[in-house]
């Protein structure tokens, strides 16, 4: 072939290549540089290995950014090889072992032999890391896990009833290792305790004692679906705490300070099904000791509604009566008890979460209890508990939908009693946007109080004032919008006193 022809063909090829380079570059810029790849991460030893999709964004550097798109077992991301758990040997039921997690042994596997229907409590404690505990059966199925149930970030599984005879596996690890975010290290204590099977029956009261050998004690009872139960724990030695579990060890409910004291009350609580239930009697600190009294009752729960008046005949057998009503956030509830003076009673009002929001002993006429102008903070089933302190005779219980006292109508008087744990009262007035008003709180009779005052509109706080041992509080507040304004006075002296509250235009 002549040179001229060869040179001409070479020129054409080079021209084609030159023209194609910008096209290839444009195509490369328009393409999605983020390929979707499938990765199989290394999970914790307590779960099977899933395949999840990971979207990896690569840059020109060696670094990579990964985003997990599936909510599954914690995934080991690039940046370090996971160290698998090591064998720790056997631990016997009733035994306590000491161990240590290290960089080379970030999780330790123990095995134990258990018997069917054996109630156990397994505890993992460390001062060096946040423990996490996993319990498996002989087939490797996870039976239970726990992070912080033992308090102070320590782990506790139980009360747990072993389902069958055979070998079980425990994995002692840190929460960081379980969550695939590192590995905590340090010394730990692992124990398996056989729980003493204590029985308690409806209507029974038991005296017990917590000790350094047993910081919690469990009691079982048999209940039927639909039973309304009340569980109470009292102690002069420590702040009590109660748990209620079903027969699988699932926590149904708990209580700390219901009733306005450091004592605990669960209920009335409706049992979801027929079976065996476990009550765990604890202290709030999980490390207190001393004597306590535990009682279990099956009670009759009666319904009451706004506007109802219920006549009650109190006999020597009457102890505590329970009434449920539906209340909504923002409603004002008034509860009155009236007698001829022959029956001494007390009132407690619980919110839908079983927390006592108000109690009273003798704020009403003839020293009967009453709860008035209580603004509900939750929607749902509220509980009124009427306790008979002493006496027999006729009692009337009234539930009213209240109306807050209005400063639009002039000066209002608010009464507080030393016998109640409802130190808050609420007033209202109609605000005009942009106006400034003066609020004054005078303790009558020359006394002193410890008032905390908050002014709110549409849920937002406009002003907050606090004082101690004073006979008067006065301040100005500017109203931002037209409409209702709430004035909440909380009295922390817990004394028998009255306030006169007035509203005037600011000078």
What is the chain's mean pLDDT, rounded? Answer: 82
Both 216 and 238 in one domain: the answer is yes
The residue segments making up the domain with residue 359 are: 301-401
Cα(443)–Cα(128) distance, integer angstroms: 53
Least confident of 47-51, 278-282, 394-398: 47-51
Cβ atoms 254, 244 nearer than 8 A: yes
Q: Read off the pLDDT of each residue in 222-249 and give the average, rounded to a whole number.
A: 90
Query: Last residue of some domain: 149, 165, 194?
Result: 194
User: What token pair was written down for 396?
Assistant: 């009337």
* Residue among 118, 131, 231 at smallest CA distance from 173: 131
* Residue among 267, 470, 483 at smallest CA distance from 381: 267
Phi, psi dihedral angles at 391 (to 5 degrees): 90, 170
Cβ atoms 381, 302 nearer than 8 A: no
Say how many domains are in the chain: 6
Both 263 and 189 in one domain: the answer is no
Q: What is the pLDDT of residue 54?
A: 31
Name the pLDDT band for 420 (thresholds 50, 70, 90).
low
pLDDT tens-digit profile of 422-438?
568 899 999 999 999 99
DSSP 179-225: TTS----EEEEEEEEEPP-EE--TTEEEEEEEBTTBS-EEEEEEE-T
Both 280 and 217 in one domain: the answer is yes
Query: Last residue of some domain: 401, 433, 452?
Result: 401
Q: What is the percent of the chain with per-residue pLDDT over 70, rounded to a whole number?
A: 82
Q: What is the DSSP letter of 406?
A: B
pLDDT tens-digit profile of 246-281?
887 778 888 887 655 788 988 888 899 999 999 999
Query: Last residue of some domain: 136, 162, 194?
Result: 194
Both 305 and 279 in one domain: the answer is no
Q: Read off the pLDDT of each residue in 304-327 and give the average, rounded to a whole number.
A: 93
Both 110 and 68 in one domain: the answer is no
Least confident of 51-65, 178-192, 295-309, 368-382: 51-65
pLDDT tens-digit profile of 366-385?
788 999 888 888 899 999 99
Residues belonging to the chain: 507
Q: Is 233 helix (H, G, I), strand (E, B) or coil?
A: strand
Both 373 and 460 in one domain: the answer is no
State the burial class of residue 170 (Cβ atoms within 10 Å of its Cβ: 0-12, 13-18, 19+).
Answer: buried
DSSP 277-304: EEEEEEETTS---EEEEEEEEE--EEE-
Both 182 and 228 in one domain: the answer is no
Angle among Cα 187, 190, 192 to the nearest 5 degrees reads 175
Name the residue with higher pLDDT: 232 or 355.
232
Strand partners, 478: 436
User: What token pair was written down for 16?
Assistant: 């084609």
Cα(507)–Cα(504) distance, integer angstroms: 9
Cβ atoms 392, 312 nearer than 8 A: no
Both 382 and 356 in one domain: the answer is yes
Phi, psi dihedral angles at 340 (to 5 degrees): -90, 15
Both 309 and 397 in one domain: the answer is yes
Strand partners, 54: 37, 68
Q: List CB contacts of 169: < 8 A, sequence separation 6 or more.
A: 109, 110, 111, 135, 136, 137, 138, 140
Decide if pLDDT at 31 tops 70: no
Q: List CB contacts of 81: < 8 A, sequence separation 6 or more.
A: none
pLDDT tens-digit profile of 74-104?
333 334 567 889 999 999 998 999 999 999 9
Q: Hunting for tokens 């393409």 — which residue is that?
A: 31
Q: Is 26 helix (H, G, I), strand (E, B) or coil?
A: helix
Both 113 and 188 in one domain: the answer is yes
Q: What CATH number has the domain bearing residue 294? A: 2.60.120.380
pTM above 0.75, yes or no: no
Decide if pLDDT at 25 tops 60: no
Q: What is the pLDDT of residue 262?
A: 84
Both 25 and 36 in one domain: the answer is no
Decide if pLDDT at 13 tops 60: no
Cα(109)–Cα(177) distance, integer angstroms: 14
Both 251 and 312 in one domain: the answer is no
């Amino acid at each position: 072939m002549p040179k001229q022809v060869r040179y001409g063909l070479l020129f054409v090829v080079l021209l084609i290549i030159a023209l194609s380079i910008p096209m290839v570059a444009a195509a490369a810029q328009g393409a999605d540089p983020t390929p979707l790849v499938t990765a199989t991460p290394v999970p914790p030893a307590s779960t099977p290995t899933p395949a999840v999709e990971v979207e990896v964004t690569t840059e020109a550097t060696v670094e990579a950014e990964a985003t997990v798109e599936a909510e599954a077992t914690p995934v080991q991301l690039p940046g370090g090889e996971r160290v698998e758990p090591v064998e720790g040997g056997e631990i016997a039921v009733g035994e306590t072992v000491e161990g240590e997690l290290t960089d080379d042994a970030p999780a330790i596997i123990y095995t134990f032999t258990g018997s069917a229907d054996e109630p156990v409590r397994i505890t993992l404690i460390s001062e060096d890391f946040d423990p996490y505990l996993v319990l498996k059966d002989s087939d490797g199925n996870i039976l239970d896990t726990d992070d912080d149930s033992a308090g102070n970030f320590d782990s506790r599984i139980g009360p747990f009833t072993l389902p069958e005879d055979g070998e079980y596996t425990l994995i002692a690890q840190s929460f960081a290792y379980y969550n695939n975010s590192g590995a905590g290290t340090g010394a730990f204590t692992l124990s398996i305790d056989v729980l003493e099977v204590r029985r308690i029956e409806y209507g029974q009261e038991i005296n017990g004692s917590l000790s350094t050998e047993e910081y919690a004690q469990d009691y079982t009872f048999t209940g039927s679906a639909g039973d309304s139960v009340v569980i109470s724990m009292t102690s002069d030695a420590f702040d009590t705490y109660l748990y209620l579990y079903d027969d699988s060890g699932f926590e149904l409910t708990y209580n700390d300070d219901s009733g306005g004291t450091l004592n605990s009350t669960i209920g009335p609580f409706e049992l979801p099904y027929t079976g065996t239930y476990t009550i765990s009697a604890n202290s709030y600190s999980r490390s207190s000791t001393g004597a306590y009294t535990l009682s279990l009752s099956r009670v009759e729960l009666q319904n009451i509604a706004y506007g109802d008046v219920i006549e009650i005949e109190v006999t020597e057998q009457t102890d505590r009566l329970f009434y449920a009503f539906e209340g909504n956030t923002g409603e004002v509830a008034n509860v009155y008890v009236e007698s001829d003076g022959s029956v001494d009673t007390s009132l407690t009002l619980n919110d839908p979460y079983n927390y006592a929001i108000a109690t009273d002993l003798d704020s009403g006429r003839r020293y009967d209890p009453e709860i008035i102008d209580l603004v509900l903070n939750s929607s749902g089933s509220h509980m009124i508990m009427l306790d008979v302190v002493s006496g027999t005779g006729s009692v009337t219980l009234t539930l009213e939908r209240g109306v807050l006292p209005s400063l639009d109508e002039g000066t209002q008087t608010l009464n507080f009693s030393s016998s109640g744990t409802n130190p808050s009262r609420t007033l209202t007035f109609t605000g005009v946007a942009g106006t400034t008003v003066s609020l004054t709180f005078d303790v009558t009779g020359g006394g002193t109080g410890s008032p905390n005052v908050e002014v709110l509109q549409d849920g937002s706080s406009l002003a907050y004032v606090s004082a101690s041992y004073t006979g008067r509080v006065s301040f100005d507040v500017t109203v931002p919008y037209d409409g209702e304004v709430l004035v909440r006075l909380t009295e922390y002296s817990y004394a028998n006193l009255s306030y006169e509250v007035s509203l005037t235009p600011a000078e």
